[in-house]
Each structure stands twice: as C-alpha cells, then as structure tokens.
Structure 1
Amino acid sequence: MEQASQIAFGRQDPCGRLAGTHDKWDLLAALTHAAAEFELSHRTLGVLKALLTFFPNRALPAEPGSAIVFPSNRKLMERLNGMPESTLRRHLAALTRIGIVSRKNSPNRKRYARRVGEDTAMAFGFDLSPLSRHAAQVFDAALDAKARTERLAVLRDTVAVLRQQLLDVADDTAEALLDSARKLLRRKPCEPELAGMAEALRAEIARCAPQEETQESRLAARELSGHDSRNERHIQDSVKKDSDSEGPQACAHSPRPQCSDANDSATEKASDLSTVLRACPEVQSYYPGALRSWQDADRIAETLSPMMGIEMPVLSDARAAMGRKEAATAVMCMLEKLGTIRSPGAYLRRLAQKARAGQFSTAPMLNALLQSPRPAEVVS
C-alpha cells in the first residue's frame, strides 16, 4: 500500500492553497497516532518534538519559510537527553525525507539567523511549515488510524470470545485451531487475519455445537473405565445396593453379610491416598516412595502434566473446578491409561466442565482401574 508520506508530504499544494495555521502540539499528537502511516518511529517523533520546542509560537504557520528553526546539533542533543549525534542526524534525515520538515541551507550549511532590530530578516535551518501545510492529511490519517485501532480491538475481543466458546464445545480435532487462535492473539495481527480466524472459529463452533451431547456421552464412555464388562459389573453392584436399601432384611438372610462393602467406600476412594496408589501404580515408577501426602500428589501431578501433554492453564482450570485432590487423582488415573487417550489436555478440560456441572467424580475411574486385571507377579 502506498504510504501517506509518499503521497503529499514535501510536495507543493497542487491548487496553490495554504492551510493557514494549526496548533503545533495538536499536529504532533495527530502525527503520533498516525505514525505507522508515515513510517515514523517514536524516536523520530521525539526529534520532531524537540524541533517544535525551538519555534516560539504555538500556532504553526503554513507559508513556506515562515517557521524556520535553527538550533545546533548540540542544543538538540541536550533537549533529547543526550541522544548520540549520529542517531540525531539519522532521524533528522528521516524527517526531511518524509517531508514533515524541509531544510533551508546557508552557503556553508550552518544554521543561523540574520536580524534587523528585533525582526528576523533571514534564517537558515529546518522549516516546520510543511507540517502545517499538510495538516488535513495528518488529521485524516490520525482518524483512520484510530478507527482501525478500534476495529482491531473489537476483532481481537471477538476472536477471544469465540475461542472460549469453542473451548466449551470442542472435541479433539479442534486443538490445532484453538492453538492457532491463541498464538494469533499473542501477536499484533492485521484485520484480515483476525477476520479469517473469527470465521474459522464460528464454523468450528457450528460443527461441534450440535454434537455436544454426543461428544459428552462418547467421552464418558472413554472415561478410563476399561471394557464394557467392567462397567456392567459396576452397574450391577449399584443396582444390588439399591435393592438392599429397599429391603434391609435381605442382607440379614444373605450368606454375605458384607454385601454392600464393595460400594460403601466408593466416595472414600477419591480421598484415600492408599487406594489411589493401589489403582495407579504407574506413578510409582516415576516417583518411587515420593507420595506420602496429598501435597506430594498435587506436586507430582503438576510435574507429570507437561510430560503428558497437559498445559498448566488446563490443570489450573481442573483444580479450580474439582479441587486439588480430585485433579491430582484424575491426572494419575489418566497416566494409567495414557496410551488410550488421544488428547490428554482436551480430556482433562472436559472432565473439568463436567465437574462444574456436578457430573464428575474420580470414584468410577478408581473402581475401573482397581477391577482391571493386573499382570501376574513373578514369585521367585
């Protein structure tokens, strides 16, 4: 795109009209907003500000040669807090090249003025009038830059909101898009990039949203519960417990007086560290003898999560949703079945969503692992 500085700055008004006078600080503020349009760095704007301080009046005239300042490089360097002279020369050359200021050189290229009484008869230095002459262009560019900044802010917020919506309904296939959106928001993208990402997120949400219930049931079926036969055994135990509660005498005549013992501790298993270690022996191969308290379990789950492909924000979200104990237990259970989980991060995120809805407990996960067949121990 052709830069604004290449269109008008430093050129004579084609209609021969002058723009009158303008407040020099208003012009500087507008130029700061439109700095990208004119390829100006903040240090170049600092040099322009220093030049403007040498012009005594606030109103900057537009007539050529009417706003000449002639400070020495040493004086400019003092007002720029000791900027090196080579750097100062580079930024002065940039202002001249863009056309914001123009040079009026003396025969020996020195900057000075000749006075007659109190009036300046002749001056050689930097002419600031082009800035006032092209004030309309500067103000228009500043308005365009402000509008573009506002549109970018709205688009960024839109992408952030859509990404969060997709997180709530996404399946494993959306991980790449979610990651791309996260990386895009960390940069300074242009409007087309943000608009394209917003459209992609909307399309993915439309694809995933109707299948949300199906996805939940599919994830529930994959909840580290082993084969269907193990689920059936757990369901049968639950039914048996219900029938026993309806007929308390049935247990009295039963040859197994401890008929409900297998389920009485179902809720306790999630808080019993020894039960968790029995169900999840894999963690002991990473940290033998390290789990002596729930604080140890929480710390080890935090260490294991990146190794399993679970990002720290996902683990933090799970801790907030289900508590540190349950989150640590879920991570250790997932470690046991890691080979069967395609995306551990998405899986733990889904468990956290179910926990917020009051539909999650680690007890079924522990039951399934405890009932799964273990390799026979070799006795020497």
Structure 2
Amino acid sequence: MGKTFRKLIGLPVNVRAENPCGPDKWQLMDQLTQAAETYELSHRTLTVLQALLTFLPSRHIPTGPAGIVFASNQRLSERLHGMPESTLRRHLAQLLRAGIVSRHDSPNRKRFARNRGGEITAAFGFNLAPMVHQADAIGHAAGKAQARQEELLALRDEVLMLRAELMRQTGHETELAELAKLLRRKSDEAELQSIVEKLKNLLESGEETVLVAEETSTAYIQNERHIQDSDIIHFDSEGQGAHTSDTFKCQRALSADKVQAVSLSQVLTACQEHQYFFPESLRTWSDLERISDKIAPMLGIDQPVMIEAKRIMGAEAAAVTVLCMLEKANAIRSPGAYLRRLTQMAHDGAFTLQPMLMALANRQIVS
C-alpha cells in the first residue's frame, strides 16, 4: 500500500489521474464547493453531501455496491448534528436533481446492504458513482469558478482604488455613502463593472481637493485656533463645539442643561487603549483628532461616516467618540453603524459625551 502511494506521488498529475482507485473524494468535494453556484448547490446541501461521503471508509469512491451509502435518514441526521429529516430530504432531493448522486432503490425502497465474505455484494441507497463520472466536469467548473472569483476580486480592488481617489475630491459625499452600502453586499461582475465606470466618470469631472464639506473645513480651522488657547471645550446639544456656534447654526435653541464641558485630560484619563497603537503623547485637541482619524479606519469606520460625524458633532466631539469606541471595540459589532447612530442622536440633541466618558472612567476604577 505504501509502495503504491509513493509511486503515485512521483508520477505526473495526468498519470496519477489514471489511478484505478479513482479520484480523491475530498478533492472532488473541494472542487464541487468551488463550483457550487454552477450546480446550484447551497452550503447546507454540500454539508449533506459531505456527510454521505463520510460513510465511505476509503478516500476514493468505489464502484459498484461499495460506493452506495445505505445509511438511514436518522443516522444521516445524527451525523449532521440533528438536522431535521424534512430539511435533510430537501437537500438530498437537490443532490439528485444536480446529478451528483443517484438512487439505487430496493423493491420496498428500504436502504440496506448484504455482505458476503466481508465484502458488500448488494447495496440499496444513494449511489455516489455519478460524482466520479462527472469528476472532469466538476474540475472544469471549479477552474472556471476560481477564475471568475479572481476577476471579481480584481474588479473590487479597482473599485476600492478609485474610491480612495474619489475621497480626495469634494462634493461626492452622497456617492461615497451609497458606494459604502454597495460594497457591503456581494456584487456580480456586471454591477462591479458599472460601479467602476461611474467612479471613473466622477473622477474625470471632479476637482482634486480634500473630501470635506466647505463649512466643516471652516469650522475645523476655527477649532484649531481655539485649541491653542484652552484644552477645555464646551459642547452643545447638537454635539458642536460652543466656540464653533458662529459657523454652525444650531437647529434648536440651546438650553443651559444641555451644555457640557470636556477637558483633554479627562478624555486621556478615560481613553487609554489608543496608546497601544500610537504611544506618542497627545498634547492638544489637534493631536487627538489626528489619532482618531487613523483609528477610525482601523475600527472599520468609512470616511464618509466619519465626515458626517464631524459635521454634526464637531471635529473634537467626533474624535472623542472614536477613542471611546476603541475602548469597547470588542462589544461593538458594527462600529460604522454605531457611529452613524450616535451621529443621528447628536443631530436630534440626544447625545452627550459626559456619560460615555464617565462610564469608561468608572470601569477603570472597578478593574
């Protein structure tokens, strides 16, 4: 046995394919998984096929009765960790329709086998021989599926590169937000090609400027000037810095109970996780904003989402929010959606930084 195995390993692939034992069943399973879309097989259906293959003791699918799986639905269900028999029957029917397996029924449609001298002489159940007969077709379909997947990945990379270029231009915030939604789902080749063309058209008609709204840029410059005077910033009910209220007009009148003061030292005391990534000292609000801009993409927050947070909350408040999110990153399933929610709350006047910072500070005291 070992000698035969060594001989096969030393032979070219086309010669090894002539192995009388037939193709490796798990290699066929891998190829069929790659070509699942071609054969219209779901991952659950493939799991059922995998369970059928486990009833064959050898790594190849024997011809004749030895290649027939005669396990009952109950045994199959047990091997599939309790899959309901109704679900099992549905997936078995799909394998039959795809021509991957065939039925070899007894007169009463019961599944069983007869042995003679330790060998199976007759078996009734699911015949896996069609899988061997289609080995070449399965391999060809798997190759095509892999090539198609590589093309899709190349197109997606092109979309991401064009998107990065578009982020350096102004006036495309809406398109970038829509693009972020499109990239979250699985797009086919035609959709990706369409996205590439649209992005190229936008880039050809755009201007090479930084992707931030004009009023945000103005507020940011004023924030920078204010930072040099004090490390304490007052945030209003909209999340905007009080010192930028002349640039951003609040949508509602401010009330005294919705004005809050946040100091840089308070933020740095509550938020320390960033030091593991950026150990340099943060001396100004400008330093904090710069670090938060680097942390946001690390958390998976898209740039359009961060820009909108800065526009609604103010640059400093958005930066503090990102640092707070980093502190509890393990508990946040979708940081981008989380920040969008906080941004909406800030827009509605229902978000303040103090409770978030106090909760983090109290957690450090407890620990």
* One of 196, 201, 212 as aligned partner of 2:208: 212
8 Å CA contact 1:19, 1:134 repeated in 2: no
SS in 2 for 1:59: coil
Give the Å deviation of 1:188: 0.4
| Inter-partner Cα distance in structure 2 for 1:87 and 1:266 | 63
SS in 1 for 2:114: strand
CA offsets 1:170-197 (integer angstroms, 9 cap, x no match): 32xx344323322210110001111121
Residue of structure 2 equivalent to 1:169: 169
Residue of structure 1 equivalent to 2:351: none
1:295–1:48 CA distance, 2 compared to 1 (3 A): same
Residue of structure 2 equivalent to 1:123: 123
Paired AA for residue 184 in structure 2: R
Residue of structure 2 equivalent to 1:67: 67
CA offsets 1:242-267 (integer angstroms, 9 cap, x no match): xxxxxxxxxxxxxxxxxxxxxx9997
Residue of structure 2 equivalent to 1:92: 92
Percent identity for Structure 1 against Structure 2: 40
| Inter-partner Cα distance in structure 2 for 1:112 and 1:327 | 68
8 Å CA contact 2:231, 2:263 repeated in 1: no
1:113–1:293 CA distance, 2 compared to 1 (3 A): closer
Residue of structure 2 equivalent to 1:142: 142
Larger mean Cα displacement after TM superposition, 105-114 or 141-150:
141-150
Alignment of 1:1-380 (within 5 A): 21-61=22-62, 63=63, 67-171=67-171, 174-208=172-206, 211-212=207-208, 268=229, 276=243, 279=246, 282-283=249-250, 285-289=252-256, 290-294=258-262, 312-315=305-308, 324=316
1:157–1:86 CA distance, 2 compared to 1 (3 A): same
Give the Å deviation of 1:40: 1.0
| Inter-partner Cα distance in structure 1 for 2:245 and 2:143 | 67
CA offsets 1:280-331 (integer angstroms, 9 cap, x no match): 79549433113252469x9xxxxxxxxxxx9641155689xx9617989xxx
SS in 1 for 2:167: helix
Paired AA for residue 306 in structure 2: P
| Inter-partner Cα distance in structure 1 for 2:226 and 2:40 | 70
| Inter-partner Cα distance in structure 1 for 2:175 and 2:251 | 36
8 Å CA contact 1:115, 1:122 repeated in 2: yes
Give the Å deviation of 1:269: 9.8
Paired AA for residue 204 in structure 1: L
| Inter-partner Cα distance in structure 1 for 2:105 and 2:318 | 78
| Inter-partner Cα distance in structure 2 for 1:294 and 1:110 | 75
SS in 1 for 2:208: helix
8 Å CA contact 1:51, 1:69 repeated in 2: yes
8 Å CA contact 1:47, 1:92 repeated in 2: yes
1:267–1:60 CA distance, 2 compared to 1 (3 A): closer
| Inter-partner Cα distance in structure 2 for 1:27 and 1:183 | 36
SS in 1 for 2:26: helix
| Inter-partner Cα distance in structure 1 for 2:227 and 2:177 | 38
| Inter-partner Cα distance in structure 2 for 1:73 and 1:266 | 71
| Inter-partner Cα distance in structure 2 for 1:105 and 1:147 | 39
| Inter-partner Cα distance in structure 1 for 2:114 and 2:122 | 5
Structure with greater Cα Rg: 1
Give the Å deviation of 1:149: 1.8
Structure 2 stretches lacking a partner, 5+ long: 1-17, 220-224, 235-240, 268-302, 321-367
Give the Å deviation of 1:64: 6.0
Residue of structure 1 equivalent to 2:328: none
8 Å CA contact 1:65, 1:129 repeated in 2: no
CA offsets 1:17-60 (integer angstroms, 9 cap, x no match): x9961111111111112212111112211111111111122112
Paired AA for residue 261 in structure 2: S
Q: Superposition RMSD on alpha carbons, in Å?
A: 4.0
CA offsets 1:113-145 (integer angstroms, 9 cap, x no match): 223322322211111011011011111212222
| Inter-partner Cα distance in structure 2 for 1:125 and 1:131 | 15
Residue of structure 2 equivalent to 1:246: none
SS in 2 for 1:103: strand
| Inter-partner Cα distance in structure 2 for 1:284 and 1:110 | 74
Residue of structure 2 equivalent to 1:302: none
| Inter-partner Cα distance in structure 1 for 2:261 and 2:52 | 68
8 Å CA contact 2:104, 2:127 repeated in 1: yes
Paired AA for residue 90 in structure 2: R
Paired AA for residue 186 in structure 1: R
SS in 1 for 2:108: coil
Structure 2 length-normalised TM: 0.58
SS in 2 for 1:169: coil
| Inter-partner Cα distance in structure 2 for 1:187 and 1:150 | 17
1:267–1:92 CA distance, 2 compared to 1 (3 A): closer
